[in-house]
Every structure is written in C-alpha cells, then in structure tokens.
Amino acid sequence: MNSFWQKIIINTILKKPRKKSGKERTYTKYELAKGYREFIILAKRNSKDFVLITLGIFSASFGFKGFLLTNHFIDGGATGISLLISILTKIPLSILIIGVNIPFIILGYRVMGKAFAVKTALAITGLSICLATVTFPNVTNDNLLVAVFGGFFLGAGIGLSVRGGAVIDGTEVLAIFLSRKFGTTIGDIIVIINIIIFSAAAYFLGIEVALYSMITYLAASKTLDFIIEGIDEYIGVTIISSKNNEIRQMIIEVMGRGVTVYSGKRGYGKRGETKEIDIIYTVITRLELNKLNTEIEKIEPDAFVVMNSVKDTKGGMIKKRPLKH
C-alpha cells in the first residue's frame, strides 16, 4: 500500500487522535489493512448508492415531465404538493421541489441523522437540476396511461432513491416524526396527509383530475413497494414439531436452505406443564412455500407452522441458488 492510499485511509477511516507528545500516530499493518478493507466497503456502498440515486432522479424526472406535468396530474406526498402548487401558480417545479422539501430535509437530520440528510439534500438538488435542464418528450395525453405510467416512473424513482439511502419525497420522514410524537402508525399519518392533498386537488383542479391523481398515487405506491422490497417475497417460517431433526434435514437437503434451531418450551395440559423442544426457523421465497408445506406434511401432518412476511434479507443462504430438488 503506497503512501497516498495510507494517507487517505488514515484521514477518512482511522481518524485516531495524535499522541500527547505531538508526534504523528503510527499505525500497524493490521490497522492499515483493516482500514483499507473498510474503505473499500464504503467506496463500493457509496458508488452503488450514487448509481441508484442517479437512476431514481432520471426516472422521477421522466415521470414528471413525460407524463404528469403536461396533463396537470399530481401525486401524493411532497411531490404532490409541489405539483399542485406548480400547476396553480406556474412556479417552475424544479424550484418547488427544493422549497417544499427543505423542512423535510431538516426534519430528516433530526430523525434519521446527518448522512441521510446530506444524501437527501443532494438527491433533491439533483432532481431539481434534472427537471430544469433535461428535456423529456410528452409521451401521451391519454388520461389513464398518464396516471398509470406517470405513477410508475415516479414511484420507481422514489424507490431507487430509497434503495440508495435518500428520499426525493420527504413525506415518510414527516410520518415517522409524527408517529413517534403522537403514537400513531406511519401508514395512518401518510393517509391523512394524502387525503388533504387530494381534497385540495379536487377543489382546485376538479374531481376528475383528483380521481386520476389517486390512480397515479396508487401506481407510484405499488411501484415503490416493489422496488424497495425486491422481486422476491420472503417468508419467515417457524416450525414446532416432535420430529424437528427430520424437518431440519429436509430443509437443508431437499429445500437447499439454511435453518436456525433454538431451544424452547412447549406448554400443554390444564396445569400448564412444559416440555423442552427445539424450534426450527428458516426463510424461503414465496414460490417455495407450497413445496415446504408439502414436505412438512410428509414428515408430520400435525406440525405447528407459523409464517410471516419478511421485507428483505442479507447474508445466509436465502439469496444463493438452492440445491437441486
């Protein structure tokens, strides 16, 4: 490792204070190697985030200028507020996107931290610049196509930005803050905000435009969920069975998935007697669920199985190719 990279790693990753004598702190080869590894991980992550946010900016811009703006449709959240004000006042959307989101960026700094706020500020600035400088064709004037595909590209843009660690619509930041303050759910806050926005759209733009705008919001929302949660839908499965060893072997050998086994107690009887038992937990895709249920039924039809949705996974065997079966 040359002195140039050593200096970068010391200044950006290690950042350890100097000794009291005033001399530069010396680092061992292990510390430098560990710092280099961390630097590479951060560089890869930041590069990936940059690509995702950039794609999100262009996708959202295309949704705005290729569909929604020329047809006076709006979306929910901060983007919907920006679109509505732009339609009513003729103020450029590129300016309103920044102005409307400034309070959310400040709130994001308080709620989510400095890194999130900086990324969000850069993403929203990038979106504003893209809206102001890049020309997109008006794809169609068919109201239904505008509502569906405008929402699709806008939702994809927001979702890609979220994947990159930033937002270009600050509504969820506000929802998180208010839910913590008032003890309500995030979903309830978002629904209330959007009811206000679409009611204003119905008043100022007409009922028909407001209804089409709701379709835009639904399309954007579903696309956003799809982008954030990924193509695969994961299911966490907890299995309690007296034949836990056979089921564990089946999951490993037949399903090609990893398992976690933890100890528990089975309660039964009128007096609440308990019995020690091993509990099996695994994560599979939704497409594998039917096969897992079939294989469990072959081993023990009366096994107690609990299934719950898993948003995403990291590490382990779930994203690797399963064994052939």
**Burial of 23 by CB count in 10 Å (0-12 exposed, 13-18 middle, 19+ buried)?**
exposed
Q: Tell me the two tokens of residue 31.
A: 């510390």
Can you tell me whether residue 83 is helix, strand or coil?
A: helix
* pLDDT attached to residue 320: 52
* pLDDT attached to residue 323: 44
- Of 187-191, 227-231, 263-267, where does mean pLDDT reach its minimum? 227-231
Q: Tens digits of per-residue pLDDT, 109-136?
A: 988 888 889 999 999 999 999 999 999 9
* pLDDT attached to residue 287: 72
* pLDDT attached to residue 1: 58
Residue 165's pLDDT band, with cuts at 50, 70 and 90, is: confident
Residue keyed to tokens 């937002």? 167
* pLDDT attached to residue 249: 93
Task: Say if CB 171 and CB 78 are below 8 A apart.
Answer: yes
* pLDDT attached to residue 15: 65
Could you give the percent of the chain with pLDDT greater than 90?
38
Question: How much is the mean pLDDT over the chain?
Answer: 84
Indicate the domain borders of the chain.
46-229, 234-310
Strand partners, 137: none
Q: Tens digits of per-residue pLDDT, 59-83?
A: 999 999 999 988 888 888 888 899 9
CA-angle at 44, arms to 42 and 48, nearest 5°? 115
* pLDDT attached to residue 160: 92
Can you tell me whether residue 306 is helix, strand or coil?
A: strand
CA-angle at 16, arms to 11 and 19, nearest 5°? 120
Predicted confidence (pLDDT) at residue 317 exceeds the cutoff of 60? no
**Burial of 268 by CB count in 10 Å (0-12 exposed, 13-18 middle, 19+ buried)?**
exposed
- Phi and psi at 129, nearest 5°, equal -65, -40
- Of 82-86, 98-102, 189-193, 267-271, where does mean pLDDT reach its minimum? 267-271
Q: Note the residue count of the chain.
A: 325
Could you give the percent of the chain with pLDDT greater than 70?
84
Mean pLDDT of 36-58: 89
Residue 325's pLDDT band, with cuts at 50, 70 and 90, is: very low
More confident residue, 52 or 286: 52
143 vs 141: CA distance, rounded Å = 6
Q: Where are the alpha helices (DSSP H) in the chain?
A: 3-9, 29-63, 69-71, 77-89, 93-111, 114-133, 143-163, 171-182, 186-205, 207-229, 244-250, 289-299
How many Cβ atoms sit within 10 Å of the Cβ of residue 297?
A: 12
Residue 144's pLDDT band, with cuts at 50, 70 and 90, is: very high
- Of 12-16, 20-24, 200-204, where does mean pLDDT reach its minimum? 20-24
CATH of domain 234-310: 3.30.70.120
Q: What are the distances in angstroms from CA 124 to CA 37, 63, 160, 173, 203?
A: 31, 15, 13, 14, 28
How many Cβ atoms sit within 10 Å of the Cβ of residue 104?
A: 23
What does R_g of the chain's alpha carbons equal in angstroms? 26
Strands, E, within 204-310: which ranges?
A: 234-240, 260-268, 273-285, 304-310
Mean pLDDT of 182-190: 75
* pLDDT attached to residue 324: 44
* pLDDT attached to residue 190: 82
Mean pLDDT of 184-206: 85
67 vs 76: CA distance, rounded Å = 15
* pLDDT attached to residue 226: 83
Q: Which residues contact 161 (CB under 8 A, 6 or more apart)?
A: 52, 53, 56, 57, 60, 123, 167, 168
34 vs 9: CA distance, rounded Å = 10
- Of 8-22, 237-251, 278-292, where does mean pLDDT reach its minimum? 8-22
Predicted confidence (pLDDT) at residue 273 exceeds the cutoff of 80? no
